[in-house]
Amino acid sequence: MRTPAALMTIFLLTAVCLPGAARAHHGWTSYDASRTVVIKASVAELTWGNPHSMMWVMHEGDRVEVYLAPITRMVSRGLTQDMLPAGKEIQLEAYASTRNPGEFRAERIIVDGKTIELR
């Protein structure tokens, strides 16, 4: 049986750690899903990782940040890391962030004539 002190320690640790974990992952509500933006760009940088991958593309002279899907989803739908090398020309259909100009959430990506659904 746990002592009251042990239970209090568990409670306090949970109370301190849980809000930070919730803030660590943003929700998708901060993107304008009422309007799809088409971005034709070249890949500048790719970070292939979880909880979702990130890509930066050069679009109209600006470096734009794009949130991608989790790796398992992208790979299961036919998109691999080696398909997105720096300099590769791609097309994205994405939603713009309502909070951060120059940030997007990709819904689909067209690479080498192939359309990959990311959501």
Q: What is the pLDDT along the chain (119 residues), one digit of tens a residue?
A: 566 665 555 555 555 444 444 444 456 678 999 999 999 999 999 999 988 899 999 999 999 999 999 999 999 999 999 999 999 999 999 999 999 999 999 999 999 999 999 98
Alpha-carbon span 95 to 18, nearest angstrom? 29
Classify domain 28-117 at the CATH class level: mainly beta
pTM value?
Answer: 0.74
pLDDT at position 85: 97
* Closest among 50, 113, 53 to 81, alpha carbons compared: 53
What mean pLDDT value characterizes the chain? 85
pLDDT at position 10: 54
Alpha helices of the chain — where are they, by DSSP H?
4-24, 71-76
Query: Is the dihedral angle over the CA atoms 78, 83, 84, 89 positive or is it negative?
Result: negative
DSSP, collapsed to helix, strand or coil, labels residue 33 as coil
Can you read off the two tokens belonging to residue 96?
């713009």
